[in-house]
Amino acid sequence: MSNGSLGDHLANDKNRIQLSWPHRKRILLDVAKGLAYLHHGIKPAIYHRDIKANNILLDNEMKAKVADFGLAKQSLEGQSHVTTRVAGTHGYLAPLTEKSDVYSFGVVILEVISGRKVIDSSSSSFLLITDWAWMLLKSGKVEEIYDEAIREEGAKDVMERFVLVGMLCAHVMVGFRPTIADALKMLEGDIDVPKLPDRPSPLSHESFRHSAKSSLYGSSVGSERSKASNTSISISSSSTVS
């Protein structure tokens, strides 16, 4: 495609085309429509399984096309749209459904809105974009999620709607994720975005670090007490023998 991939334009490259809010909005809607067609427009449905910025190609008009179907699988009728061939040990993996693509799409939404990497190895507090966005959203700082380059370009309520849909699609609990068809309707404003269900704090959250320190301290104290107890036993035994 003439304009490369979406990932090319989200990379920290001075030569990249700066994506405006209208561009980003249209790209996300194009991807949602493409996935809705794969999931609901054909039978058997097709699950892409590798939705990410580098697999979204942009033409000369910056219209998005979902590409790279190397991992795609067709669902089989009568099997509840669940693929039966998965990599890994059966019994240990969650079944693959359309909600797998929905999760990936949610991550792409957050990536496109924020201009941030999906995994930020430079941050010790928040490694995943979903954790980072969730904490800002809970703190009432949704505007800090928006890429600085687009903060003044779009209607705030529309941009917030896209963030909320992204968070809902990328929810850790599969049952809370919408279908891609409903996600598209939410993005277009045809249906309301439901209240976001709470989600577990990331393991990097300070509450977990505090808990870990407490556990470590408790283990240390217990170890010292054990040592002291063993020392007393040894002294008592020595006294008895002598």
What ranges do the domains of the chain cover? 6-187, 205-242
50 catalytic? Reply is: yes
Q: Are 76 and 95 in contact (CB under 8 A)?
A: no
The pLDDT value given to residue 1? 65
Cα 151 from Cα 59, distance rounded (Å): 25
Q: What angle do CA 83, 84, 88 make, to 5 degrees?
A: 105
Cα 15 from Cα 111, distance rounded (Å): 19
The pLDDT value given to residue 122? 75
Q: Is 1.10.10.10 the CATH number for 6-187? A: no
Q: Which residue out of 8, 50, 68, 120 is catalytically annotated?
A: 50
The pLDDT value given to residue 70? 54
Cα 184 from Cα 33, distance rounded (Å): 7
Task: For residue range 27-45, list pLDDT tens digits in order.
Answer: 999 999 999 999 999 888 8
Tell me the pTM. 0.75
The pLDDT value given to residue 184? 98
The pLDDT value given to residue 147? 94
* DSSP of 158-175: HHHHHHHHHHHHT-SSGG
The pLDDT value given to residue 2? 78
- Regions of the chain short of the pLDDT cut 50: 77-88, 90, 93, 208-209, 211-213, 215-217, 219-242
Q: Are 141 and 132 in contact (CB under 8 A)?
A: no
